[in-house]
Amino acid sequence: MGWFWGNSGQEDPVKKLDPGLREYLEHEAPKKYVPTTSVPSAQDPSKIVDPQAQSSQPPEAADSKPSVPAASLYPDGRYAHLWKTYKPPAENGTETKGASRVIEKYKSRNDTVHRAAMENCALEHEDLTLCFQNGNWQKRLVSRVTLCSEENAKFSRCFTTQAKFLQALGYASSFDWDEDKEERIQMHADKLYHEMLGYEKQVEEARAVGQEPPPLTSLFHPQAKSQPQSTEQTTLEIPGGEAVPVGFKPSKPLDQLTPHERELEIRAHYAQLEQQKLYAQEASPFMKTQEDARQKRREKAVSWFGETIGKWVT
């Protein structure tokens, strides 16, 4: 009981504690315990700061040797022994950072593109939603039986094609997000999609009255001339004179797509190749580090087991 209510002139009771317990209390207490009579041997006298001497020191001298690590969240010195080994993320290797950025970008880009496509197709999605809700009971019954096939097809095409336009235009392809740039790309993708729909409507109206359809122009390069492209099966017209890449695999056979959809598929294919190059460039330091480490392991294994076994195990 004297520990709590004894006067300051009595013998320090902390001296009688177990050394391990006393060290634990000194580490976990908000402030270092300073005995009333003498400085414990476990405490370094050089770390005790005299308030008067500290106030007399110039600011430069006081800041030159901080007693608490800069990253510590506790200015009183708690857990300072743990914060000494802390390294902020900025100090980590750039190779690992580049690889992490590529992985995160690859995972998040599709979600970002689909979210933008959904925003561009907000009206089509609203029509599909209202198809199941509006009208009398007979109309709602027909909507449920047919699953609003017309509205559903319109929305599905809008969402799929808008996502293709966004990919072809490089939406969310940069590692550094620029709000204004990405918004302009999103608006341009929506503009090109409605231009495609407008041309298809003009073709239908011209054929209905027996007239020639309007000339086909490229959505991405309006000044370029359209040229027919030969495939193994038939000759297809592709706006802008886009050539079919070797080994190109579209989402659907080209003969089942409209001319503008063929151009869009090819443009999206080229954009995907550019995106893969950007990924490889960003992750190249990490890949080089891994390759160097593998080469060192191979050299060591070859020196131990010979060339054949060393290359096989590595």
Going from N- to C-terminal start, the domains of the chain cover 12-86, 110-208+250-278
Residue pair 272/166 in contact by the 8 Å Cβ criterion: no
Residue 113 confidence (pLDDT): 94
Band of pLDDT at residue 14, cut at 50, 70 and 90 = low
State how far the Cα of 97 lies from the Cα of 296, in Å rounded to an integer.
23
The residue-averaged pLDDT of 272-285 equals 79
Q: Collapsing DSSP states into helix, strand and coil, what is residue 87?
A: coil
State how far the Cα of 214 lies from the Cα of 205, in Å rounded to an integer.
10
Residue 39 confidence (pLDDT): 46
Whether the per-residue pLDDT at 114 is higher than 80: the answer is: yes
In this structure, the dihedral spanned by the alpha carbons of residues 157, 163, 165 and 170, taken in order and rounded to 10 degrees, is: 180
- 189, amino acid identity: A
Q: Which tens digits make up the pLDDT trace of 232-257?
A: 555 778 888 778 888 888 888 888 89
Sequence-distant (6+) residues with CB within 8 A of 108 are 172
Residue 73 confidence (pLDDT): 72
Residue 268 confidence (pLDDT): 93
**What is the torsional sign of CA 20, 22, 27, 28?**
positive
Q: Which tens digits make up the pLDDT trace of 177-231?
A: 889 999 999 999 999 999 999 999 999 999 999 898 888 899 998 887 665 555 5
Residue 42 confidence (pLDDT): 47
Residue 103 confidence (pLDDT): 76
Residue 197 confidence (pLDDT): 95
252-279 exposure pattern, b = at least 16 Cβ within 10 A, e = fewer: eebeebebbbbbbbbbbbebeeebeebb
For a pLDDT cut of 90, what percent of the chain falls above it?
Answer: 27
Residue 62 confidence (pLDDT): 45
Sequence-distant (6+) residues with CB within 8 A of 281 are none
For a pLDDT cut of 70, what percent of the chain falls above it?
Answer: 68
Q: What average pLDDT is seen over the chain?
A: 76
